[in-house]
């Protein structure tokens, strides 16, 4: 089952409600693009690639909801929907990237009628979802080259099938290494405050029969200092042109400790998540979520009533702590300013060639 998918019979977008896992596998269904934007904000769906696909299907819903009978009015309705969708979560670049792809289709002059535009938008949304699965698998097998038999992998947050349309990014590398028969072990950061590691990554690894231990976030340094970690794999919600990586809060701390202890640190990043328009990570907008997520765990208070809390959802890891970046086009090493731009150009050329 895909994390996000279109129901052609019901003309709705469906997604696994990740707030219910691992206790219940529930499917949410939406027929209104406002509801899809809400689902992204409230983390019914999460993970940069999955958010991008959800936003694309949300735009398909917006096209269907529009009563416009002419192309110009339809485009204006779609631009209004795009503003709402883009505001749902600001850090993950895949969201805005997917919305831009949909708007490009909407302005295609070769489409004759509004019906043609609506159909083309839905096809593009489905293409975004299908491409995500294919490139995740390519990326996973590039990354699996970094994993040796017997390795212990430290992983933060959730980057598996649940964070994408299917398969996964950093956790996809783990799946590929396991599929290759390598005997691996995973240390899973619980990932406060929303516990994506404990709730989601642990569930995915358990489903696949991959050996792992759940650890408190603050224990990661101990395992690295004592030589019990061979490699750190993380995802990325946005990567700047210089290789700075914005990822789930706590990633920066892991990267610093990894470098201190000589442990390789690799973000696993689809090229759609690399933002060449941002020179460095200081320019990446960091979402700050409600403090209630910090003072409660699974809805139960853990702190004195009435206190305030700060809750940045992401942090930025400077590129000097990054060993290399795994992409669907291969593993990119420093200097990132040059090599990221080069690998994106190569990937764009490959896509053009494959279409011809």
148 DSSP 8-state letter: P
Using DSSP's 3-state secondary structure scheme, residue 80 falls into helix
Q: What's the token pair of residue 12?
A: 């709705």
Q: What's the token pair of residue 134?
A: 């294919």
Per the document, the length of the chain is: 356
List, for residues 318-334, the tens digit of each pLDDT value.
999 999 999 999 999 99
The stretch 108-127 carries a mean pLDDT of: 95
Record: fold of 4-136? 1.20.120
Residue 355 has pLDDT above 80, yes or no: no
The pLDDT-based confidence of 354 (bands split at 50, 70, 90) is low
Residue tagged 């200092």 (tokens): 225
Supply the residues annotated as catalytic.
237
The stretch 150-173 carries a mean pLDDT of: 96
The stretch 118-142 carries a mean pLDDT of: 96
Can you tell me the distance from the alpha carbon of 130 to that of 127, in angstroms, rounded to the nearest whole number? 5
Q: What's residue 22's pLDDT?
A: 95
Element (H, E) at 257: helix 251-260
List, for residues 6-47, the tens digit of each pLDDT value.
999 999 999 999 999 999 999 999 999 999 999 999 999 998
**How much of the chain, in percent, has pLDDT values that exceed 70?**
98
The pLDDT-based confidence of 90 (bands split at 50, 70, 90) is confident
Cβ-count burial 251-276 (b if 16+ within 10 Å, e if not):
bbbbbbbbbeeebebbbbbbbbbbbe
How many other C-beta atoms can be found within 10 angstroms of the C-beta atom of residue 192? Answer: 17
Q: What's residue 72's pLDDT?
A: 93
CATH homologous superfamily of 141-355 equals Translation initiation factor eif-2b; domain 2 (3.40.50.10470)
Residues in Cβ contact with 155 at an 8 Å cutoff, skipping those fewer than 6 apart: 170, 171, 174, 186, 187, 188, 189, 197, 201, 232, 233, 234
The pLDDT-based confidence of 352 (bands split at 50, 70, 90) is low
Domain ranges of the chain: 4-136, 141-355
Q: What's residue 295's pLDDT?
A: 97
For residues 85 and 33, is the Cβ–Cβ distance under 8 A? yes
356 DSSP 8-state letter: -
Can you tell me the distance from the alpha carbon of 262 to that of 204, in angstroms, rounded to the nearest whole number? 28
Q: What's the token pair of residue 324?
A: 């290399």
Can you tell me the distance from the alpha carbon of 151 to that of 56, in angstroms, rounded to the nearest whole number? 38
pTM across the whole model: 0.90
Residues in Cβ contact with 72 at an 8 Å cutoff, skipping those fewer than 6 apart: none
How many other C-beta atoms can be found within 10 angstroms of the C-beta atom of residue 308? Answer: 7
If you average pLDDT over every residue of the chain, what do you get?
95
Reported as half-sphere exposure (CB side, CA atoms, 13 A), residue 313 has a value of 24
């Amino acid at each position: 089952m895909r994390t996000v998918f279109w129901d052609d019979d019901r003309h709705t977008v469906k997604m696994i409600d990740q707030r219910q896992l691992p206790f219940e596998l529930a499917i949410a269904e939406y027929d209104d693009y406002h509801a899809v934007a809400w689902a992204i904000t409230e983390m019914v769906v999460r993970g940069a690639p999955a958010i991008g696909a959800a936003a694309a299907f949300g735009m398909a819903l917006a096209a269907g909801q529009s009563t416009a009978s002419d192309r110009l009015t339809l485009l204006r309705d779609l631009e209004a929907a795009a503003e709402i969708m883009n505001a749902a979560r600001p850090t993950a670049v895949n969201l805005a990237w997917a919305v831009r792809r949909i708007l490009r289709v909407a302005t295609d002059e070769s489409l004759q009628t509004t019906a043609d535009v609506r159909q083309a938008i839905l096809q593009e949304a489905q293409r975004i979802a299908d491409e995500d699965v294919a490139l995740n698998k390519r990326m996973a097998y590039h990354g699996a080259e970094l994993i040796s038999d017997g390795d212990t992998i430290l992983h933060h947050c959730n980057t598996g099938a649940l964070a994408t349309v299917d398969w996964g990014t950093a956790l996809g590398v783990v799946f590929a290494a396991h599929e290759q028969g390598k005997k691996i072990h995973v240390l899973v950061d619980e990932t406060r405050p929303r516990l994506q590691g404990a709730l989601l990554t642990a569930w995915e690894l358990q489903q696949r029969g991959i050996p792992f231990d759940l650890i408190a976030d603050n224990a990661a340094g101990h395992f690295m200092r004592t030589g019990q970690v061979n490699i750190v794999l993380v995802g990325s919600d946005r990567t700047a042109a210089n290789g700075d990586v914005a990822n789930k809060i706590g990633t920066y701390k892991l990267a610093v400790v990894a470098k201190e202890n000589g442990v390789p640190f690799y973000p696993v990043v689809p090229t759609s998540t690399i933002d060449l328009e941002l020179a460095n990570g200081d320019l990446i907008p960091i979402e700050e979520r409600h403090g209630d997520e910090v003072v409660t765990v699974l809805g139960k208070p853990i702190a004195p009533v009435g206190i305030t809390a700060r809750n940045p959802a992401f942090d930025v890891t400077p590129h000097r702590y990054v060993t290399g970046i795994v992409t669907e086009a291969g593993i990119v090493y420093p200097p990132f300013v040059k090599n990221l731009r080069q690998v994106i150009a190569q990937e764009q050329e490959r896509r053009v060639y494959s279409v011809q």
